[in-house]
Amino acid sequence: MSILGVESVVFGVSDLAEHTRFWTDFGLPVEHVDEHEAVFQLASGSRLIVVPHGDARLPSPDPFPGDGLKLTVWGVDNEANLEAIATSLAREVEVRRDADGTVQCVCPDGQPIAVRVWEKKTFASEASPVNTPASHPRFNQHRIWRQKAIPKTINHVVFFSPDYVGSFEFYERHLGFRYADHSKGVGIFSRAGGTFEHHSIFWVNCDLPFAPDTFKFMHIAFGCDDIDEVMLGANRMEAKGWKNHSMNSSGGISRHRISSAIYYYCDIPGKCGEAEYHADTDYLDDNWVPRAWDFRFGSLLWANNAPPIFRGDDIPWDMTFDAERTSFEPYRKAKPGKRPSEGALAQLTEDDEHAI
């Protein structure tokens, strides 16, 4: 079963005009906009669709209150694999078929998903060679000069889950997702089998102090060619009035240790989550050996104003290879409800949310 990545996402919103302006300013190419919808299509063929609350394309019942990403549609490579996925899902959850053959269901954690055949587009992506004091691969050559950020892919989506280990295992069982890395007690990174990006989805533990008690959208990440695009995007969004309140505490542009990615978050209107510019992430195949990380070590930031729990040079090296998934056991759900938080994890606050 070869899921190629995110075919489309559907947002339900209160103010269609404001959300349309946000995504246009963010740099997503406009496919179609009218009083009923805004559709953006990236170079990969992935679409971001924004519709008002109550639109028939939104799942019912609504998975969570307010604005946000309500439906994730995964693209599969062919009809045979779509049928295999539908058969597998039907063993565990109720499945319905749309007129166009799209398979829809609600995951045990409350996430509505759909799967359909997708012809993912090939596209050009270009970054300048990087010069260093001792190495000059861009010799006698000017760097590519960019005018704005134009994201080309949806790299990943992120959701809060009341059982993040179970959420990953459901995706693995029925959609063929791979285990990439585990930020212990915080969440699991997982890659669709037909793509090489470090992760296509990340589930964040609802047991964290800042987290909601139930399934909810957190953020969506868009792939850019290089750090220049991330910087351009960040600066232009700031200039257009899209302030970055969620990341003020951690200093804006930074890099994740776990996935190596350079990133910058922008608040989506309606306080419904964040849009992320994303570049220079790790790319993996099935030879990758998953790792388990202490969340502080794995998330250590370069930003000047990182939350206190992530600061300092004394955070110990804490990463182990985890092919046998022994790191999962303490976080498996034995019964409903929140477990008591222990140790450093209990120190996490809402200000630390996007440092994980």
Q: What pLDDT band is residue 255 in, cutting at 50, 70 and 90?
A: confident
Percent of the chain with pLDDT over 70: 87
Q: Provide the pLDDT for residue 185.
A: 94
Q: Provide the pLDDT for residue 104.
A: 98
Is pLDDT of 5 > 70? Answer: yes
Is pLDDT of 227 > 60? Answer: yes
CA pair distance 256, 205, nearest whole angstrom: 18
Q: Provide the pLDDT for residue 253.
A: 85
Q: Provide the pLDDT for residue 248.
A: 40
CA pair distance 20, 67, nearest whole angstrom: 13
Q: Provide the pLDDT for residue 243.
A: 79
Is pLDDT of 239 > 70? Answer: yes
CA 8 from centre of chain? 13
Q: CATH classification of 3-120+150-355, choosing from 2.40.50.140, 3.40.50.720, 2.60.260.20, 3.10.180.10?
A: 3.10.180.10
Q: pLDDT tens digits, residue range 263-320?
A: 999 999 998 999 999 999 999 999 999 999 988 887 766 666 666 666 656 777 889 9
The residue that leads in pLDDT, 132 or 336, is: 132
Q: Closest Cα to residue 75, out of 165, 164, 168, 193?
A: 193
Average pLDDT over residues 76-92: 97
The residue that leads in pLDDT, 355 or 73, is: 73
Q: Provide the pLDDT for residue 308.
A: 66
Q: Provide the pLDDT for residue 209.
A: 86
Residue 124, classified by CB atoms within 10 Å of its CB into exposed (0-12), middle (13-18) or buried (19+), is: exposed
Q: pLDDT tens digits, residue range 335-352?
A: 444 443 445 555 555 555
Q: Provide the pLDDT for residue 336.
A: 43
Q: pLDDT tens digits, residue range 178-204?
A: 999 999 999 999 999 999 999 999 999
pTM here is: 0.92
Q: What is the DSSP letter of 248?
A: G
Domain boundaries, the chain: 3-120+150-355
Tokens 């040079």: give the residue: 313
Q: Provide the pLDDT for residue 296.
A: 80
| Sheet bearing 153-161, strands edge to edge | 254-255, 262-267, 274-279, 216-223, 153-161, 201-205, 187-191, 178-183, 291-293, 319-321
The residue that leads in pLDDT, 348 or 226, is: 226
The residue that leads in pLDDT, 8 or 252, is: 8
Backbone φ and ψ of 238, nearest 5°: -60, -45
Average pLDDT over residues 32-50: 98
Query: What are the residues facing 152 on neighbouring strands?
Result: none
Q: Provide the pLDDT for residue 73.
A: 98
CA pair distance 292, 324, nearest whole angstrom: 11
Q: What pLDDT band is residue 249 in, cutting at 50, 70 and 90?
A: very low
The residue that leads in pLDDT, 297 or 122, is: 122
DSSP string, 267-324: EPGGG--EEEEEES--B--TTPPPEEE-HHHHT----TT--GGG-SS-PPP-EEE-TT
